[in-house]
Structure 1
């Protein structure tokens, strides 16, 4: 019998993120907006009217922005590449409401959707005409949940003089089911690329500069940005990248199994995700030649019920010939300036979910079992020794094992992979690293009280960039948090404006310059610690030490034989 060795499965990140990333949904009405260049944008008679290659739209004014919601950027048959939509009828379309979210189950943070007609985007632009840098946001949600709709408030970014675009893309089995019978797979990544093509072709009508596009996203959205860096199909569609907590699972399993020897294989995405999903449907015994037709005949409900809680883009495909890590290591990636970082307490949010799922993190035996489950994606790791080592680092007390479990999730899953990718990037492209560390960040989980401090948890930084000041205040942000939010909004937009110039990067120039300089990352250099009220440059080695990255370069492993 052939043994299978799973070293890149996304079991932890995807099963937990499926519920969590929707927590990044920043409550409130999203403003959307677009604009055209000073000569091609909204008409002089009506600045809310724009003409795209698909037809004319009328937007709305909201929070000092021109907002265009629910603009169709693509159409797609199930399990097929998307295409630009045809021009709509002569009538001008109103763009007041968001388009349908892509199919997903309901969660505490979002409504269910069964509508496959979901390839929409939203544009948010300053009121004044101009030629503004463009920032395209890719939402998170474990590639299972989320949308570019009402969860995000880009008003503070737009105030700094940029056009912001948010988008939907296909999720779950409909977006990422890996099977050779479906061809290229990674349909959700193809959707993102089509949205970027739409931006290239139309954003001048919203006063956006198609030659100055920054792609940014968090968690699954950050992983998407990294995937687009690795994808040949995204070449030239964006000019800078911001990656927020997106470094996890950079090895990305291939579509098919990879033999390691006569009796060992590394299972690929088809074995890990595709076949288990199909096995839960009436197509389970269908030959490959008829599988596409069979899956096409299933209801959306059947596919949602069948899909696992863990799915990722797969490599060895036309969209992703190489995994993220392979692309960075080989130098075969889209070389653009990159701003990239992660959070001090990434694992806290997943620790809260683990407790909610019934894990016992308050006793030694329960903690050890939970760590073993957490680390199952790499069966060579000595989970027991790792659990002991991390517990020994924590003060004794009722939260010793809770904090140790959270620290393992932070270091192993997010921050040390982030550090490794920093090192790969900084020698090839202009790179700026950040470390979000505000442990007094407002809790984005409305109505949820954790039995331990969440601190600077996964996704808690989004609100400092994509929520309004009033939303921060309503969540309990103090003056220090509001000050940090202003810094971050300027850093993010300065990078969009000036990131191609390594002498400026996210620091801005003239009146927009930040008082605290963010140094470009070099070998053994510095990153920016984003803490309230004022950021500070710190050595990258401080990040490495805090997150045990030397330990994870050579972690305890089970002896062979």
Structure 2
């Protein structure tokens, strides 16, 4: 390099320093277990496949998560870790037979520190993984750190057996281990470990309700966002699919019953002890996935029934967002009951609600609906989802500032296999792609829906930052409070207050108890 060239280069560097030009971000961070190298993009940094606990394989199958082993050198964090074992379903064509799966992903803006952190707990309980949800839009629109996690599913996360420590709660314990990892390490990624919001839908939302009352989750998060959670819902006979009997709770089961079912299933599999069960191939256990989808209460992770603990005022007193979609149960009717006949409708109501059936049929006569499937959908949306969601908001408001919503875009892009005979409406989990908009959503969404997505991203980032979703340029969202305010989330000016109790006939359902 000539003297003149070197001088010009030095002058350029000095001018850049004087102008305050930010340094180029580095993708290398140090966690407690070792260094990670992520990927630098134009507007964010991403780190994928970060182990937060030891692989639950071999003797660690059906044990609480153990600490991850430290590594030397710099570990590549440029691709997702394995999804937890899952067989896939008619609505989610996923699959994995790998138990080495306790990984998480971090997306963070390119610069800055002490940013709010949102930890996403995906739903379903038998399929899914954190990597299926793109945290970039939420991280960049909200100037926040977004974490998505894997956790053990189905029989691997909820199995129970007499004398087995942690029976029925391994998936919940995984989630708490991920939250502890966040508390210990997220500062290295620019996040504030003292400002963590847990956010989840459906099974993930119910899991958050469990963490609100679980001793092991105390202090691991400061805000909660519960979407379409089933924590306070019973499950009437036949409500989800044919042949499913009534149970007291949609998502919870006692420890004694969980262990009893586990022992019976072990015998059917030809095993007399845990050692035998732990040696079974993953796919040999797939038929039991949904049988152990419920979490067990009565043990160390969940000492008591979460619904009872919530109603007794034992939840962590944290700010909360909670809500449902306008047409929750159309998803389940579309999957299992789409061709429902007029003659079958009263039989289903009678099977599910017994002596209360006649009153329900008078309140929801077929003459009010375009099809029996829509009638049955509305009965269960109102009687199960809306009733439980409103109670969750009422209980949350007793413990902290609470904001309630109804996702009301009845033309939301559908990513589920709905039959032509049943309009999806604002179906179960229809709001999730608006917070994690991927290419599929962007290709299908109309301009007003993309605008709603941008609005929701700001609402949730504001809530994570301050405990209040409101901010400049957004329609005002009042606190649930004594007025029982519920915000409808829909394109354009339809984002406004909705009379949720009237819309879902809550007075009727509460009088039916």
Which TM-score band (shorter chain)?
0.7 to 0.9
1:269 aligns with 2:258: yes
**1:119 is matched with which residue: 97, 102, 105?**
102
Aligned pairs for 1:119-518 (under 5 A) are: 119-141=102-124, 143-185=125-167, 186-249=169-232, 253-256=252-255, 268-271=257-260, 273-275=261-263, 277-283=265-271, 286=272, 291-309=273-291, 311-355=293-337, 360-364=339-343, 366-372=344-350, 375=352, 381-382=354-355, 384-385=357-358, 388-389=361-362, 391-392=364-365, 394-395=367-368, 399-445=370-416, 449-468=419-438, 470-475=439-444, 477-499=445-467, 505-508=468-471, 513-518=472-477
Residues 1:385 and 1:310: Cα distance change in structure 2 (over 3 Å): farther
- CA pair 520-329 structure 1, distance change in 2 beyond 3 A: same
CA distance in 2, matches of 1:245, 1:253: 16
TM-score (norm 2): 0.86
Give the distance between the partners of 2:299 and 2:175, measured in 1 at CA.
16
Structure 1 CA distance, aligned partners of 2:262 and 2:509? 30
Is residue 519–residue 537 contact of structure 1 (8 Å, CA) maintained in 2? no
Is contact 1:351–1:402 with CA below 8 Å preserved after alignment? Answer: yes
Alpha-carbon deviation of 1:449?
A: 4.7
SS at match of 2:488: strand
d(CA) in 2 for partners of 1:314, 1:390: 35
CA-CA distance at 1:483 after TM superposition: 1.6
Say if 1:169 and 1:394 are closer, same or farther in 2 by CA, change over 3 A. Answer: farther
Structure 2 residue corresponding to 1:527, chosen from 486, 489, 497: 486
In the other structure, the counterpart of 1:548 is 505
User: 2:17 is matched with which residue?
Assistant: none
In the TM superposition, residue 270 of structure 1 has moved relative to its aligned partner by 3.7
| Cross-structure match for 1:12 | none
Deviation at 1:437, TM superposition (A): 0.6
Q: Does 1:54 align with 2:33?
A: yes
Q: Against the structure 1 CA distance between its residues 275 and 537, is the aligned structure 2 distance closer, same or farther, given a 3 Å change threshold? A: farther
Question: In 2, distance between residues paired with 1:523 and 1:381?
Answer: 34
Asked if structure 2 preserves the Cα contact closer than 8 Å seen for 1:217 and 1:243, the reply is: yes
Q: TM-score, normalised by structure 1?
A: 0.79
Query: C-alpha offsets along residues 122-146 of structure 1, whole Å, 9 cap, x if unaligned?
Result: 00001123321100000011x1111
Structure 2 residue ranges without an equivalent (≥5)? 1-21, 234-248
Matched with 1:70 is 49
Q: Distance in 2 between matches of 1:73 and 1:225?
A: 19
In the other structure, the counterpart of 1:38 is none
Change in Cα spacing, 1:294 to 1:269, as seen in structure 2 (3 Å) is same
Structure 2 distance, partners of 1:70, 1:552, is 46
Partner of 2:8: none
Contact 1:394 1:404 in 2 (8 A): no
Which protein has greater RCO, CA pairs closer than 8 Å, 6+ apart?
1
Question: Residue 180 of structure 1 aligns to a residue in which SS?
Answer: coil
> In the superposition, relative to structure 1, how do residues 182 and 332 fare at CA in structure 2: closer, same or farther (>3 Å)?
same
Change (3 A) 1:544 1:310: farther
Q: CA RMSD in A?
A: 2.3
The equivalent of 1:37 in structure 2 is none
SS at match of 1:434: strand
Contact 1:277 1:308 in 2 (8 A): no
CA separation of 1:460 and 1:280: change in aligned 2, threshold 3 A: farther
Query: Is the Cα contact below 8 Å between 1:157 and 1:466 reproduced in 2?
Result: no
Deviation for aligned residue 1:310: 6.1
> Where does the alignment leave 5 or more consecutive residues of structure 1 unmatched?
1-42, 258-267, 500-504, 557-561
Q: Give the distance between the partners of 1:276 and 1:410, measured in 2 at CA.
A: 34
How far did residue 472 of structure 1 move? 2.9
Query: 1:333 and 1:407, CA in 2 relative to 1: closer, same or farther beyond 3 A?
Result: same
| Number of equivalent positions | 470
Could you tell me whether the CA contact under 8 Å between 1:55 and 1:92 is conserved in 2?
Answer: yes
Q: Residues 435 and 413 from structure 1, CA distance in 2 versus in 1: closer, same or farther, beyond 3 angstroms? A: same
Secondary structure of 2:35's counterpart equals strand
Structure with greater helix percent = 2
Task: Give a deviation string over 1:246-281, Cα, whole Å, max 9, x none.
Answer: 134555545345xxxxxxxxxx4345x535543541
| Alpha-carbon contact 2:116-2:464 (below 8 Å) kept | yes
Shift of 1:461: 0.4
> How much does 1:241 deviate?
0.3
Aligned 8 A contact 1:391 1:400 in 2: no
The SS at the match of 1:98 is coil
